[in-house]
Amino acid sequence: MAKRIFRNTFITSLCGIILASLIVMGSFYDSAESQMRQALRTEANLVAQAIVSVGESYFDKFSSSEGTRITWISADGKVLYDSQVDETTMDNHISREEIALALKNGQAEVVRQSDTLSEKTMYYAKLLDDGTIIRVSCGYDTVMDMLIAIVQPMILLLLVLCVIMYAVANYTAKAVVAPLNGIDLESGTMADVRGFEEIKPLLARIRRQNVMIDTNIRELKLEHAKREDFRRDFTANISHELKTPLTSISGVSEMLMNGIIRTEDVPEFAANINKEAGRLISLVNDIILISRLEAEDLYTQKEQVDIFKLALSVKNRLEVLASKRNIKLTVTGRLVDGTEISENDSDIELTVMGVYNMLEDMIVNLCDNAIKYNVENGKVDISIIEHNKQMEIVVEDTGIGISDEDKGSVFERFYRVDKSRSKEVGGTGLGLSIVKHIVMYHGGSVNVEDRVGGGTRMVAIINK
Ligand code: ADP
């Protein structure tokens, strides 16, 4: 950074100085040239006046000012006098540009190569009243010489300035970077902030970001600790849940092996083994599903799912189970425009973008609970309610209900309100937890409410 500041400062000042020098030299050149032009005119006028008052004899004792050359030419171009060259040797000047122009316009100023002296020359010619022409000239190189004369000290000055600029740029770069190096990033402070007021907002931002970083780290640690607790609880719960049916299977099968059980009791004990094995299978299935849901290991493509038809098929599947306790299942729907639909309106579609198997698991779990925790001759109503951007799936039952203090916990893994009843009806304690994951996967939420008139009302809302 210091290098960059140094480079930029140095290059900028160098360019500035070079530009300034060029402008100075340019205007010097301009003024030198116009001074020379002015000097030629003045001298021409003086000489003209002298010729008028003194006459030709003026040139006898004449000496031109240093650097200038005076030529007097007759109206027909003959050179009458020249201050530097013997006029008798000079050819006719009538065709010289400045002479021709002066004859025409009264005066003329021309810069050209001198035929006589072979150098670039500035001429000023003036037509006198008697028809003769006075011409004053000066080597044009004089201007260049003057320019060259100032270039040398300018270059010297430039070099001195370069050294000064180098030192200043170096100092500036270090002075800018030094306070930044003095910032304590941990505390967002500076040892001495005096003279560096502009840094204060930066310090404030560093402090704000430090607070944010601290908060984030704390939250991450908390999250990590929570996950760790969760994992530990989950593992402990799984071991416990698996052990119970296994112990029962192992105990009963041992009794069968040892012949302790009377032949007529064998079917009952075998049924017990079968029931526990069934529990183990559904438990293992649920554990696998929930682990995959939690690890978001289900790269399943979403598709258009007709959730009303899906609810009807779940109802048909669970009807046998429900009929055992004479529980009646119904499916109804409501379109976004308020139209009510019944089980017979199989041509009407209520679709969502989702994963068919997951949504099926969700409705099965909700209905399964509504049957399991229901009373004899009870009712389970499944309603699919369409909203603009969401779909509401409501499963209501006339069962035992869930107390207010348990409502917040039923979606946790392995949570059961009444452990023995849950086991009795074949629950794994994972059903609602799976429902919650599926709903979240579909960008929604699930809630438990009391059903008016007793029982439970489960409301899942997912994105369409
Ligand atoms: P389970 O496999 O034990 O049914 P869930 O996760 O599905 O586990 O449900 C958690 C607990 O919530 C259940 O053990 C039960 O106590 C309670 N519960 C769930 N659904 C209902 C319902 N419809 N009516 C009454 N209680 C319910």
In contact, 307 and 444? CB cutoff 8 Å: no
In contact, 82 and 90? CB cutoff 8 Å: yes
pLDDT of amino acid 300: 77
Q: Where are the beta strands (DSSP E) in 210-316?
A: 303-306
List domains and CATH numbers for the chain. Answer: 2-146 (3.30.450.20), 299-463 (3.30.565.10)
pLDDT of amino acid 107: 93
Token duo for residue 182: 């003095």
Token duo for residue 392: 């509401």
Atom of ligand 1 nearest to the CA of 416: 14
The predicted-structure confidence for 34-63, as pLDDT tens digits, reads as follows 888 898 999 899 888 888 888 878 877 766
The predicted-structure confidence for 197-251, as pLDDT tens digits, reads as follows 788 888 899 999 999 999 999 999 998 998 888 788 888 888 888 998 899 999 9
Confidence category of residue 186, pLDDT binned at 50, 70, 90: confident
Residue 418 alpha carbon to ligand 1 centre in Å: 9
User: Is the CB of 427 within 6 Å of ligand 1?
Assistant: yes
Q: Mean pLDDT score of the chain, rounded to an integer?
A: 89
Q: Which residue has the higher pLDDT, 196 or 381?
A: 381
Distance of CA 208 to the CA centre of its chain: 20
Share of the chain above pLDDT 70, in %: 98
| Helices 2-54, 141-181: crossing angle, 10 deg rounding | 160
Q: Where are the alpha helices (DSSP H) in 117-199?
A: 141-181
Pocket test for ligand 1, best of 364, 373, 446, 457 (most atoms within 8 A of CB): 373
- Which H or E run contains 135? strand 133-139
Residue 219 alpha carbon to ligand 1 centre in Å: 32
The predicted-structure confidence for 420-447, as pLDDT tens digits, reads as follows 777 777 778 899 999 999 999 999 999 9
Who contacts 308 (Cβ-Cβ below 8 Å, separation ≥6)? 331, 333, 341, 348, 349, 350, 384
Asked whether the predicted pLDDT for residue 298 surpasses 70, the reply is no
Asked whether the predicted pLDDT for residue 66 surpasses 70, the reply is no
Residue 301 alpha carbon to ligand 1 centre in Å: 29
Token duo for residue 274: 């079968």
SS3 content of the chain, % helix, strand, coil (to 5): 55, 20, 25
pLDDT of amino acid 100: 92
The predicted-structure confidence for 109-167, as pLDDT tens digits, reads as follows 998 888 776 778 899 999 998 899 999 998 877 777 777 888 888 889 889 988 998 99
Confidence category of residue 78, pLDDT binned at 50, 70, 90: very high
Backbone phi and psi for residue 448, each to the nearest 5 degrees, phi listed first:
-110, 135
Dihedral angle over CA of 170, 172, 178, 183, nearest 10: -150
Residue 370 alpha carbon to ligand 1 centre in Å: 8
Who contacts 41 (Cβ-Cβ below 8 Å, separation ≥6)? 124, 136
User: Is the CB of 298 within 6 Å of ligand 1?
Assistant: no
Q: Whose CA is nearest to atom 4 of ligand 1?
A: 427
Pocket test for ligand 1, best of 432, 448, 450 (most atoms within 8 A of CB): 432
Q: Which of 72, 112, 76, 109 is nearest to 92 (CA)?
A: 76
Atom of ligand 1 nearest to the CA of 401: 25
Q: Give CA separation, 40 vs 46, 108, 381, in Å.
A: 10, 11, 118
Q: Which of 163, 157, 134 is nearest to 72 (CA)?
A: 134
pLDDT of amino acid 299: 66
Residue 328 alpha carbon to ligand 1 centre in Å: 19
Asked whether the predicted pLDDT for residue 88 surpasses 90, the reply is no
User: Is the CB of 416 within 6 Å of ligand 1?
Assistant: yes
On the 0-12 / 13-18 / 19+ scale of CB atoms within 10 A, 60 is exposed
Asked whether the predicted pLDDT for residue 373 surpasses 90, the reply is yes
pLDDT of amino acid 210: 93
Q: Which of 440, 334, 351, 451 is nearest to 399 (CA)?
A: 451
User: Is the CB of 456 within 6 Å of ligand 1?
Assistant: yes
Residue whose structure tokens are 């299978």: 281
Atom of ligand 1 nearest to the CA of 286: 2
Q: Whose CA is nearest to atom 2 of ligand 1?
A: 427
pLDDT of amino acid 329: 97
User: Is the CB of 417 within 6 Å of ligand 1?
Assistant: yes
Q: Which residue has the higher pLDDT, 339 or 188?
A: 339
Confidence category of residue 64, pLDDT binned at 50, 70, 90: low
pLDDT of amino acid 123: 92
Q: What count of residues does the chain have?
A: 464
